[in-house]
Structures are given as C-alpha cells and as structure tokens.
Structure 1
Amino acid sequence: MAERSDARLLLAPAKVNLSLRVLGRRQDGYHELISRVAFADLHDRIVVGPARAGEKDTLDLSGPFAGTLEPDNLILRAVARFREAFPSLAPLRISLKKHIPVAAGLGGGSADAAAMLRHLARFANCDPMNPRIQAIAATLGADVPVCLEPVSRTMRGTGTKLDPPREDFPEQPVLLVNPGVAVPTGAVFTVLGAGPLSDGFAALSAEEERNDLEMPARKVAREVGEVLDVLRGLTSPRAVGLSGSGATCFALFSDETARDRAAAEITAVHPDWWLHAGMLRNWEAGELESVA
C-alpha cells in the first residue's frame, strides 16, 4: 500500500464563462466559440498516489455531488490518454471529493481532468501548457485546455485557442446559483440551431457581456430563466449571466457584503437552490498541488 507521503492533493477550480458568443457551426458539427472565462474559489479535491501492487487505476468518489458521476470519469480518461503518450506511467490510486455541481456549466469534469494532467505533466518533466499536454487535453473536451491553467483569459475556436492570461484580473465577489437541474450541453446547442459559420461573425468580441446560449438554455430548462430573473431583480449586482450552457448562473458584486446579502435573500425564498458565495480569482501554480 502506498505511504501517505506518496499521495498528492490536487485542486480543480470551477470555471465561469463571463461571456460566450457562438460564432457558428463548422462542417464537422463542432461550434466555433469565443468566451471570456474566469475561475472561482470553488474547487474539487483530488488525492492521487501509486496504486497497490497488482492493482489497475482506481477512482473513489465522495462529496456532495459524487452520486451524479459516471464510473467512467473524465479523470480516468485523462490518465488513460496520458498513458498512451507516456506508457511507463504506473497505475494510480485516485480519490475525488466532488464539490462542483455536475452538468452545471462550471466545467467540473473538465477541471478534474485538467488537474490530473497538470499533475502528470510533472511525470513527463514538462509544463502543463506544453503543446503535447494541451493536445491530450483537447481530446477530452472543449473546456479541458483552458482549465490546465486556471486564470482569466479568452478561449476561442473549439476551446483549443487560448489568449494570454489576464494577469491584471482582479479578485471579485461572485454568487453562483444553480436550481438543481442538469442541462445537457447537446440539447442546448440543438435548440440554438446555429447555421454554418459566416465571415460576418469574425468581428464578434468576447468582451460583449452576453451568453448566446442563454435563450436556448431557458427553453431546455425553465429553471434557468427563473434563476436569471431573480438575480437580475436584485439591486446590487454589477453583472448577471449564465455560465456555459447552464444551469449555473452568476452575479458579480462590488463587495462581499452586497454578495452575502443577496445570497441570504435568495436562500430565504429558494432554500432548495444551490448557492456558492465566493470569489473569482487567478490561481497560482503553487496553490494547485501539495502533499496530501
């Protein structure tokens, strides 16, 4: 059995889409996007270490959202894809404590896969943003590449084109609200019904604070509209929006007092909604991994 000192603790921060513009649909069926993303202080926790002798890769699940996860988790797929490129990687024993809601627009599964790839990049003696690691990330999902380095930036295309980080991104109070429904991304894009990519979309900017998936997400799950209407009915938010394809919505505030007051107001009326009153921030590499 692996000694405790062999285990590492990995943090996987939640991603928030501050804006998301759909530029169109490519001939291969994928959508071209431009999205400005930031990361929250909300995170999943992963402990990884060597497997017992004779064991294969194992994954134990716990936490408030563990019950909604599939056994074939993105973490295990990330390990398998990495091992295809680096076959000498020994079997791993992994535990995931799931704090990020699933199918919620917060990139929880992508963040978990990215956290594992960040850790495994050390095995390959390379930076997590190395093109080889990014290529593995891109095979796992559109949000995985941007989650490799959880800092505010703009992502483009199918998620593989990343602008330089916004080093000056200030910490800012955020309220994340989810009505407790899963919103399948595919269903939202089906309702969107984006046509072929046109040259006229090229001038769209991620700085335009809107999410083109909001209206189709409202149609897929009316609860999304209810949350957004409640947040927009508050007097104090600086901005309100939908993250990804939902169902999580966000509100940005000028100070923590206003954020906490809004959280209390919403909880009093909608006690069944999930809330996280926290901060958006850039994460430093040294904060993301430590001895377990």
Structure 2
Amino acid sequence: MSLAARPEGVRVRAPGKLNVSFEVGPLQPDGYHAVASAYQAVSLFEDVWAEPARDFSLSVGGSVDVTGVPTDDRNLALRAARLLAHHIGHDGGVRLSIQKHVPVAGGMGGGSADAAATLLACDALWGSDLGMARLQDLAAQLGADVPFALMGGTAIGLGRGDRLSPALATGRFDWVMVVSEVGLSTPAVYHELDRLREGAPGVLHPVDPSVPVGVLQALRSGDPVALAAHLSNDLQAASISLQPALREVLALGEDSGALAGIVSGSGPTLAFLAADVTSALELQVTLSAAGHKALHVHGPVPGARIV
C-alpha cells in the first residue's frame, strides 16, 4: 500500500491501571524481580493519534504536567512505533501526537498505555493486521505493563508482570486517585525496596510471588468491601520511605470514608477504594478541599481501542 493510499490517521485510547495486589519476589541475578500482580484498568485514558509520515516524530500534551516527558527515542511510544516498523519491514515513519491524562511517573502505567496505543494505532495505520497475540508479544518487549494496557479489564500478571491471564471481575469498583506533584522513579522504588529488605533480614519475603485467593474472590464477587480487606502492595513501604508525606494522605483518605487506601504501583499516586459512586464523589470533594488533586475513576474498563 502506498503512503498516499493509507488512512489519514488513527486515534487509539488506552487506559491507565491500578495494581490492587502486587507481590514482589527477591532481586534476581539479572537485576529484575519476579512479581505477581492483579491489574485493573481504570477510566483515566491516554489518547494517541498516529498519522502517516516519512520519519518518526512525537508531540505530547494533555491535562497533566508533561514537563520532562521525552519526545525522542527515550519515549516508550516512539520506541513502540520503531519496534513495530522493524518487525513488519515498514520503511516509512509516523507522526505521533499524545494527549496524556494519566499522571506522569505516578505508578499508573501512563507511558505503557502510550506504547500500547501506539502499537495498535500503527498496526492499523500501516495495515499490518498482526492480531492481538502478536501485538502482545511485541508489547512484552517494551515493558511489563504494556501488554496489560492492550488487554485492559482485570488480569493477573506473573513473571515480570507481563505473563498475563484474564481474571473474572464482576460489577464496578469506584476509586479516588490522589496525584502527587512530584513523581517517583520505578527503578528507584525497587532499589529502595531492596534496601529496606536488606535492613530487615529476619522478615520473610515471597520467593515465588502469587496473587492471594482473597483478591481473586473479591474481584469475582464484585464486592468492594471484600477487596478493600485484601489490597496490598509490596512497593508501598519503599514509596513511603522515599516520600514520607504519602503516609499522612493515606491516613486522611481512610479517615474520610475510603474503604482502604493503597499506593498505586510504584507510586506516588494513591488509590482509595470507595463503597460506591456516591461515596467516591464525597471522598473526592473532601480530599480536594484538603488541597489534594483528587480524581474519581472506575474500573474495570477495556484495553487499548481504536476510537
């Protein structure tokens, strides 16, 4: 297909995510950790437009602070486009435009959502029609959260988080997200986790991480009260160690009506689970009045989709 005959452009929307359960194994010789995650895609989205071009370029905007988001090959979306082009032998480029609404460096997988959306958009733009299974294989080469951003919904991730299997979840879960003005580096959080564990040699840590049965049962039943009792994140202590103020915000949210609060992924975004829509909106107002940027989202929602 010639460049002129290709569609004018493709728009794809991909969701951010929460880790309602996140268990981390010990540091491995290759520098990585085995993890077990229960992912839930939530209604905070990234929008990616892909347009025909002879070279690769990227522009970034959105409702969140995008200062410091790279627009060169350090950006995961641009790397996703190049990876797909190399895989299918595409000799042209693409002009990518991203509108970000997921907090940057907030532990909600915004960059991974951009990469997933780019894979789907370029696959459609270039007419490669690889199918979801092959796109998932490429996504796994880009990062642990990228395959889930393609899949969406609710899933269990093992290995580095990229070995995915869908998990049954019924109903709707309402969350209030509190966004920090200062991001956290995921590698820095893992490094801090290793440091904390070295300082507590008598504490047992999971050698073979898994998602607790209680989490799966709560998701299956659609019961937010049951899920609140099982929220857990092994990275939470490390995130709070690097940003101690998170502890006070967690306490405020739980004292203000949240069923439970948790650090989202590597943080510093906090996720508060509410009993229902009304409770979530009331909590959002309370946290906003206390000076925090609070967002109401719900899940699960679908993964990357052409819109």
Please tell me the TM-score bracket, short chain as reference.
Answer: 0.7 to 0.9
1:189 matched to 2:190? The reply is: yes
Conserved? CA contact 2:113–2:149, under 8 Å: yes
TM-score relative to the length of structure 2: 0.83
Q: CA RMSD in A?
A: 2.5
1:241 aligns with 2:262: yes
Correspondence 1:129-168 to 2 at 5 A: 130=133, 132-166=134-168, 168=169
Write the distance in 1 (CA, Å) between the matches of 2:264 and 2:37.
Answer: 10
Amino acid at match of 2:231: E
Structure 1 residues 255-276: Cα deviation after superposition (integer angstroms, max 9, x where no partner): 2111111111111111xx3221
| Alignment-mate amino acid for residue 261 of structure 1 | E
> Residue 164 of structure 1: CA displacement?
2.4
The answer as to whether partners of 2:57 and 2:71 remain within 8 angstroms in 1 is no
Tell me the equivalent position of 1:76. Answer: 78
Establish whether residue 280 from structure 1 lines up as the match of residue 299 from structure 2: yes
Shift in Å at residue 68 of structure 1? 3.0
Where 1:265 maps in the other structure, the secondary structure is helix
Q: In 2, distance between residues paired with 1:226 and 1:68?
A: 27
Decide whether the 8 Å contact of 1:105 with 1:245 is kept in 2: yes
- 3-state DSSP of counterpart to 2:120: helix
> Distance in 1 between the 2:58 and 2:40 partners?
28
| In 2: Cα distance, 1:42 partner to 1:172 partner | 14
SS at match of 1:139: helix
Kindly provide the CA deviation profile for residues 68-89 of structure 1, in whole angstroms up to 9, marking residues without a partner as x. 3112221100011111211125
**Count of residue correspondences:** 278
CA deviations over 1:224-270 (Å, ceiling 9, x no partner): 223212222223x2332111110011111122111111111111111
Uncovered stretches (5+) of structure 1, i.e. residues with no partner: none
Find the aligned partners of 2:186 and 2:27 in 1 and give their Cα distance: 15
Cα distance in 2 for residues equivalent to 1:66 and 1:2: 33
Q: Is the 8 A contact 1:228 1:240 kept in 2?
A: yes
**Separation in 1, partners of 2:152, 2:38:** 12
Q: Output the CA distance in 2 between the equivalents of 1:32 and 1:150.
A: 21
Corresponding residue for 2:208?
Answer: 202
Cα offset, 1:284, TM superposition? 6.5
Determine helix, strand or coil for the equivalent of 1:283.
coil
Residue of structure 2 equivalent to 1:63: 62
SS at match of 1:201: coil
Larger mean CA deviation between 177-186 and 113-122 belongs to 113-122
Establish whether residue 178 from structure 1 lines up as the match of residue 179 from structure 2.
yes
> Is residue 18–residue 37 contact of structure 1 (8 Å, CA) maintained in 2?
yes
Gap runs ≥5 in structure 2: 199-203, 216-229
1:41 and 1:89 mapped to 2: Cα distance?
35
Between 1:150-159 and 1:224-233, the stretch displaced more is: 224-233
Cα gap change, 1:155/1:284 in structure 2, threshold over 3 Å: closer, same or farther?
A: closer
Equivalent residue letter for 1:135: D
User: Identity over aligned residues, as a percent?
Assistant: 29
Task: Output the TM-score relative to the length of structure 1.
Answer: 0.87
